[in-house]
């Protein structure tokens, strides 16, 4: 009996695979060691996301920058971007990544909101401001 092989792309057309990129070049010893310890947690956190996690060491300030952004936006240096910075001496990869991934997801949801909801939300804000202005005048 022959069974047709169904590829993963046929089952789930939105199969995202976020990844972790270290840019440019190498991290110094301590941050690299801390990243290796946190790598499994970080990769699990973004494995099904449509964006990547970029890690960069700022040698001038002895800081680590973590950037969450789609690859296309990162290359073009535009679009939605969330960045977190912490000292290179800290072991804050997991906590920083959690906070910036959460921020990116919230911002992405706001950005992808349908036009009708954006208009309604804007009108609600204008309505509240108008009511406050009328209360002040009275």
**Tens place of pLDDT per residue across the chain (138 aa):** 444 444 444 444 455 577 787 876 667 888 888 888 888 888 888 888 888 888 888 878 888 888 898 888 888 888 888 888 888 877 888 888 899 989 988 888 877 767 777 788 888 999 888 888 888 776
The model carries a pTM of 0.66
Specify the DSSP class assigned to residue 69. E
For residue 122, the model assigns a pLDDT of 85
Scanning the chain, the segments in alpha helix (DSSP H) are 8-11, 29-46, 71-76, 93-111, 115-137
**Which domains are delineated in the chain?**
8-112 (3.30.160)
Token pair 């990162």 is found at 74
For residue 17, the model assigns a pLDDT of 74
For residue 25, the model assigns a pLDDT of 63
């Amino acid at each position: 009996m022959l069974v047709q092989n169904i590829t993963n792309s046929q089952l789930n057309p939105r199969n995202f695979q976020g990844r972790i990129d270290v840019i440019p070049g190498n991290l110094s010893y301590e941050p690299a060691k801390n990243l290796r310890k946190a790598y499994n947690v970080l990769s699990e956190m973004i494995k099904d996301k449509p964006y990547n996690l970029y890690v960069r060491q700022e040698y001038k300030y002895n800081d680590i920058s973590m950037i969450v952004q789609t690859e296309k936006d990162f290359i073009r240096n535009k679009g939605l971007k969330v960045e977190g910075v912490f000292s290179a001496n800290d072991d804050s990869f997991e906590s920083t990544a959690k906070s910036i991934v959460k921020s990116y997801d919230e911002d992405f949801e706001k950005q992808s909101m349908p036009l009708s909801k954006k208009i309604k939300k804007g009108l609600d804000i204008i309505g509240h401001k108008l009511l406050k202005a009328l209360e002040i005048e009275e």
